Structure 1
């Protein structure tokens, strides 16, 4: 009888490529603050090689930020790609004369690129960033209420917490669902 071999990881094409990418970027040396400053000056002068060096040295940081946004509708590789776009923007706009490390400046650009991609691509219908922010506030208030009182809040309780109309809370909770499956069981309501 043939023996089956059970492995912990099912290797898909995407995860193999991602594993190779992570392995490759782990070999790139980090930059000293003086090197960052010199590269930033060269980037402002239009030096493409300096831009490449600056971004490659910080790719690991993009991965660590991207991991914080997993399971929100985009794959890790897509999140990393979007974070890399933000890293490139940051490298082009960084001003070393302000006295900050590059990565302290770049984190905002990386997060913005990732959040914009999540908003843009993870829903069936694209919502404005301000609406997504409002949905997130309602969801955070809902979660906090459940943790504190060990029950789900009413729309009125959430409205009072957020200082908005109960009808608005109801609309946000109803409209905040990403999408429904045609195979999902129907509720008894």
Structure 2
């Protein structure tokens, strides 16, 4: 049997569109935190241009998140589309006065939109065996006709070959398209398949690094609102800036507390820190009032 050669514009149309989209969003300039603040203020006033700019500057992060949910029932373009919906929602709701970067806030909305779409996709009734057989027969017919015509056959041609209706062919193809083989080739030029693009557990995408860096900065900013003592306790317990966090025993030794006290009074320990700060503030205010009276 002669080797099938199908025009790239037909077989790789979706991949070509995705490649172009990724190239286009890669050209979008990232914006600074100050620009985010100004854009958020304009968005609240109904400025659609500002909304468009904030969204476009963060589209690449949606792709990074969407890649984490591949091979779960939706194609990557569909996952990106759903993530973009979440990004737009986040842009409309972003409150710049809280002091956090936009993407740190938007990631939650992006994930939620994708997860919701996957949940809806999973609500699929199992097909009877006779329908499964029909789908497999149509797939086999498509393969045979592709070899015969040297191109993908139309629904009309498939229906004529199987002596059925175009509607039944189209319905079967729609159901079949919900699943994607990770071994399917993505290009006629080589043997590369989708499985080759599944990220190793040890690999960290560059966009993920950017998001993690952003989140780290926001966490550090929050820690800076604490006293040195509070910050030290939080850093030790959660291992911030360290290879790993300390146990309650280790933290207890550092602050002269037994493990029993740490486990029983862990919340009170933080309360003591707060009360200590309040007492210090109260004392300072009292001293200031005395000085003013004098």
Alignment TM-score > 0.5, same fold: yes
Equivalence for 1:57:
57
1:124: Cα distance to partner?
A: 1.1
Matched ranges for 1:1-189 at <5 A: 11-125=11-125, 182-183=132-133
State the alpha-carbon separation in 2 of the partners of residues 4 and 86 from structure 1. 41
Relative to 1, partners in 2 of residues 1:13 and 1:108: Cα closer, same or farther, differing over 3 Å?
Answer: same
Structure 2: which 5+ runs fail to align?
134-294
1:123: Cα distance to partner?
A: 3.6
1:21: Cα distance to partner?
A: 0.3
Length, aligned pairs only: 127
State the alpha-carbon separation in 2 of the partners of residues 18 and 24 from structure 1. 10
Give yes or no for contact 1:123–1:179 (8 Å, CA) kept in 2: no
1:12: Cα distance to partner?
A: 1.8
State the alpha-carbon separation in 2 of the partners of residues 88 and 18 from structure 1. 20
Give yes or no for contact 1:90–1:109 (8 Å, CA) kept in 2: yes
State the alpha-carbon separation in 1 of the partners of residues 4 and 89 from structure 2. 49
1:13: Cα distance to partner?
A: 1.3
Moved over 4 A (4+): 2-5, 178-181
State the alpha-carbon separation in 1 of the partners of residues 128 and 73 from structure 2. 14
Structure 1 or 2: more helix by fraction: 2
Structure 1: which 5+ runs fail to align?
126-177, 184-189
Larger radius of gyration: 2
Relative to 1, partners in 2 of residues 1:25 and 1:38: Cα closer, same or farther, differing over 3 Å?
Answer: same
State the alpha-carbon separation in 2 of the partners of residues 18 and 55 from structure 1. 18
Question: Deviations for 1:70-99, whole angstroms, at most 9, x for unmatched residues?
Answer: 000000000000000000000000000001
